[in-house]
Amino acid sequence: MAERIGFIGLGNMGRPMAERLLARGAQLVVCDVRPEAAAPFRGRAEVVDLPAEVGRLAPIVFASLPTPQAVRTVVLGAGGLAEAEGLDVYVDLSTSGSQTVQAVAQALAARGVGMLDAPVSGGVAGAEGGTLAVMVAGAPALVERVRPYLEAFGRIFVVGEKPGQAQVVKLANNLLSGAALALTSEVMVMGVKAGLDPARMLDAINAGTGRNSATADKFPRQVLPRRFQAGFKTALMYKDLSLCLAEAEAAGVPMWVGSAVHQFWRYVMARGGGEEDFSAVVRYVEEWAGVEVKAGDGTGARA
């Protein structure tokens, strides 16, 4: 990896992904609006202040950003990537919805810059371990050019050739994930209220057809030990669910169950839970029912 690579956004997901590129020998140019986020990279990568500087120094630039507005600002705003001379490919690892991605891709194409839509799933643990699911949409030639770098993050799933298509897949994934966590919170609280041991209950569910990402991972690892450190804020899950419902509405697809899931997370947001880890949503069901889902005898549940 002798080519210079840019990376913008060094948060919970971006930092470990940038670290994986460094570990593979990439010459990195990094940027983050928070100086403290970029500080650990000083001496190991070139740290710059503006996205345009990243694009000027590196022909391929990755970005992992929290919101659609952040993506638009980084690319299209003053000092943004669109101003950079020498930029060839922009790879958006963010979850920002198809409309934002298409607008950014169109603006960059007018300047002769290609774009890959490449949101990721797998959380902080996946980013650190290189086991993310990387959903990619874009021109085949661009995919192949960037593939060696994407492989540092995890397994690649090419889902289409039009930027924005990978966003649809990622938003569908997060709706399913958010639904699993919401419904698992409800049924686990119901079980504890009935006098069941939550660890034993999870073991039984995980051996049956109800197994899902929340019963298999988030509850045994985050909820039962009352850790709540999965690394993804409730506000970001709510943002993704809102984007997913907007995609469905634009496509004329009904979302009866999806709308109910969205309302669950909207309630948590209204109660001030936006900055909490998303695994902590169980607390709002617990509060209502007057019980707590936690490991009782210290054995926990098998993940």
- In whole angstroms, how far apart are CA 130 and each of 126, 127, 141, 154? 6, 5, 23, 5
170 classed as catalytic: yes
Q: How many CA atoms lie within 13 A of 231 on its CB side?
A: 15
**In the numeric block, which tokens belong to residue 247?**
């995609």
Among residues 170, 218, 233, 239, the one annotated as catalytic is 170
Provide the terminal-to-terminal Cα distance of the chain, rounded to the nearest Å: 36
- What does residue 127 show for φ and ψ, rounded to 5 degrees? -65, -40
- In whole angstroms, how far apart are CA 255 and each of 54, 259, 260? 40, 6, 8
- In 74-183, at which residue ranges do the beta strands (DSSP E only) sit? 89-92, 114-117, 120-121, 132-137, 154-160
Distance CA 82, CA 110 (A): 10
Q: Token match 């070139």: residue?
A: 46
Distance CA 156, CA 159 (A): 9
Distance CA 63, CA 180 (A): 28
Q: 3-state class of 262 per DSSP?
A: helix
Of 199, 206, 196, 221, nearest in space to 297 by CA: 199
How many other C-beta atoms lie within 10 A of the C-beta of residue 180? 20
* Catalytic machinery residues: 170
